[in-house]
Amino acid sequence: MYVCVIFLNVLKIFDTLNKDKNILFIRNLESKLDFELTTMRTILIIGAGRSASSLIQYLLNKSVEENLHVIIGDLSLALAQKKTNNHPNATPIALDIFDENQRRNAVQKADVVISMLPAHLHIEVAKDCIVYKKHLVTASYISDAMQELDEAAKANNLIFMNEIGLDPGVDHMSAMKVIDEIREKDGKMLLFESFCGGLVAPVSDDNLWNYKFTWAPRNVVLAGQGGTAKFIQEGAYKYIPYVNLFRRTEFLEVEGYGRFEAYSNRDSLKYRSVYGLDDVLTLYRGTIRRVGFSKAWNMFVQLGMTDDSYSMENSENMSYREFVNSFLPYHPTDSVEIKMRLILKIDQDDIMWDKLLELDLFSRTKKVGLKDATPAQILEKILSDSWTLQPHDKDMIVMYHKFGYVINGEEKQLDSKMVCIGEDQTYTAMAKTVGLPVAMAALLILNGKITTPGVQLPIRKEVYLPILKELEEYGVVFNEQSMPYVGYNPDKVFS
């Protein structure tokens, strides 16, 4: 519409000029405007949640030079409108992903579709992209259902880029860059460890847990569930069941930011095939937290508060104190506090106890307010009272890779570290490191720089080299340090 207004104003200005010259100018201008309108490329973003802030901002900032029209679809039209901020090259729409006609109409208008929906909802969008021959970009892990579309995507010369956020995403790209460089020097990989975590920035670290929710709180509460952690160390397979997960941690040091710990991710072994590390001796992936978090979190695990498999009776009217007491043995005289300390074997002057008190777990007045809620849902509600990012808060992303390798008979190690600090509650480091790679991949696909079709993740040079380079312009920089290789078994003794 704004193009039409400009066009009409031009007509008025030239109304008094020579008629023949006026007509010629108008025809030339009309031809130019028609060309611009027909060549404008459209990107559809489905989902305008917290992870989409930096993604939308990036594409709108690029919209003029790249001739982009960005459609932002969300169930909440108000949210989509807020994210577009009245930008002339953006169109906010109300989009119900379960409304097939509405969804398909939106997909048809796009050249590239970006789905920022929960992972299990991508598949219907992906099927529409096959039907209407549209490229697709998501930040989520490739599901079995998504992988089944690989042949159809290739047959239609479509790129379905997945796992292109932070973790997965930036971790894949930064890892493959170094692994490929080592292989190009005829090196052989001995060890690969990768750690990542979304944390609160030091300037906003104001609670005893040294943690706030920077991403989906539910994922934090359920972390580590659904299977035993599996990895390999010095050629030996290792397993950690969920009940022990938060007491088996690795320690890391990041210059300028201090010490961290990391607990194991669920299945590190699958990355042998992803990265081509079938013969590697050590392969471990973990989630980063500040030292002491895992030990404290283990209290909730041992009590059963992270269980999401059943609903609690009368949860809506339950106080926080009653919720806690539900997991403690009955005693006619002992208080909830005493029973809690006894069962967890913690003293009154223990920092673990202070951490529990800080969450106001024993409040008689605060109500759960959730009907038929699971323990995990209730715990999430309680933690959200204390761990929600405030408008002035800044978050922090820490990623740490360790590469052990042998080259020309000499064993070496390279550590690669990245720290990114967010701006505020909206433009978080998490939104930046998830959203920017998604946006950059979409633009590279649109511009014909990424050409390999099919369902894929970003482990090819045509993907990771330009994206990692551009990310550096936005402060997402990996600092590499070489050192002697030690590994976990310097004396070569099997255990």
Decide if pLDDT at 5 tops 90: no
Question: pLDDT per residue over 162-208, tens digit each?
Answer: 999 999 999 999 999 999 999 999 999 999 999 999 999 999 999 99
Architecture of domain 170-295+391-429+478-484 in this structure: 2-Layer Sandwich (3.30)
What pLDDT sits at residue 243? 96
What pLDDT sits at residue 389? 92
Check residues 61 and 23 and name the one with the higher pLDDT. Answer: 61
Whether 431 and 52 have beta carbons less than 8 Å apart is answered as: yes
Mean pLDDT of 237-251: 97
Tell me the helices (H) and strands (E) count for the chain, helix number first.
18, 16
What pLDDT sits at residue 486? 84
What average pLDDT does the chain have?
A: 92
Whether 163 and 141 have beta carbons less than 8 Å apart is answered as: yes
Helix (H, G, I), strand (E, B) or coil at 230: strand
Mean pLDDT of 454-477: 98
Mean pLDDT of 140-166: 97
Mean pLDDT of 333-355: 95
Model confidence, pTM: 0.88
Instruction: Give me the percent of the chain exceeding a pLDDT of 70.
Output: 91
- The span from the CA of 34 to the CA of 13, in Å, is 20
Q: How far is CA 310 from the centre of its chain?
A: 28
Taking CA atoms, 73 is separated from 116, 269, 296, 300, 456, in Å, by 10, 37, 40, 38, 24
Cis check for the bond before 92: say yes or no (omega within 30 of 0): no
Whether 280 and 189 have beta carbons less than 8 Å apart is answered as: yes
CATH 3.40.50.720 residue ranges in the chain? 40-161
What pLDDT sits at residue 16? 43
What pLDDT sits at residue 173? 98
- The span from the CA of 212 to the CA of 204, in Å, is 9
- The span from the CA of 199 to the CA of 389, in Å, is 11
Decide if pLDDT at 14 tops 80: no
The fold of 40-161 is Rossmann fold (3.40.50)
Decide if pLDDT at 379 tops 80: yes
CATH 3.30.360.10 residue ranges in the chain? 170-295+391-429+478-484
For the ranges 9-18, 228-237, 393-402, which has the lowest average pLDDT?
Answer: 9-18
What pLDDT sits at residue 284? 97
Question: pLDDT per residue over 32-62, tens digit each?
Answer: 334 444 578 999 999 999 889 999 999 999 9
Other Cβ atoms less than 10 A from the Cβ of 237: the count is 9
Question: pLDDT per residue over 290-333, tens digit each?
Answer: 999 999 999 999 999 999 999 999 999 999 999 999 999 999 99
